[in-house]
Amino acid sequence: MFRGSWVYDESDPLYDSSTCPFLDPEFDCQRYGRPDKSYLKYRWKPDACELPRFNGLDLLRRWKGKKIMFVGDSISVNQWQSLVCMLHAAVPDAKTTYKRTIRSPL
């Protein structure tokens, strides 16, 4: 899983950053003038296995009735934003509740 390489995948990206309401504006590279989009077409390919393509509807079916909480630093925020943007792309008209609490360290 951890040994592999980034491979070009014409089917990516899994979401359009300009249409995701959960993405912090400063993470929308296209909005701030990045001219190329080729960096969006890469995915991780492990050497020893094949990862299935992300399926937002399948994930929502499996998580139905459950809650998820992301705890961590800015990397966790980036991962959360990517996940909810992929889910939003799968069901753009879904009802959502969004609560973000940022606490400073003691």
DSSP structural state of residue 103? -
Tens of pLDDT along 23-48? 888 888 888 888 888 888 899 999 99
Evaluate whether residue 103 is within a structural domain: no
How many domains in the chain?
1
With b for 16 or more beta-carbon neighbours within 10 A and e for fewer, the 42-51 pattern comes to: ebeeeeeeee
Q: How many CB atoms lie within 10 A of CB 89?
A: 16
* Structural domain range at position 72: 4-90
17, 23 contact by CB (below 8 A): yes
Q: Is residue 58 part of a domain?
A: yes
In a domain, 97, yes or no: no
Query: What's the whole-model pTM score?
Result: 0.80
- Residue 17 placed within a domain: yes
- % of the chain with per-residue pLDDT over 90: 37
Q: Coil, strand, or helix at residue 45?
A: strand
Is residue 102 included in any domain, yes or no?
A: no
Q: Which two tokens stand for residue 88?
A: 């939003």
Q: What pLDDT shows up at residue 33? A: 82
Position 6 confidence tier, pLDDT thresholds 50, 70, 90: very high
Decide: helix, strand or coil at residue 87.
helix
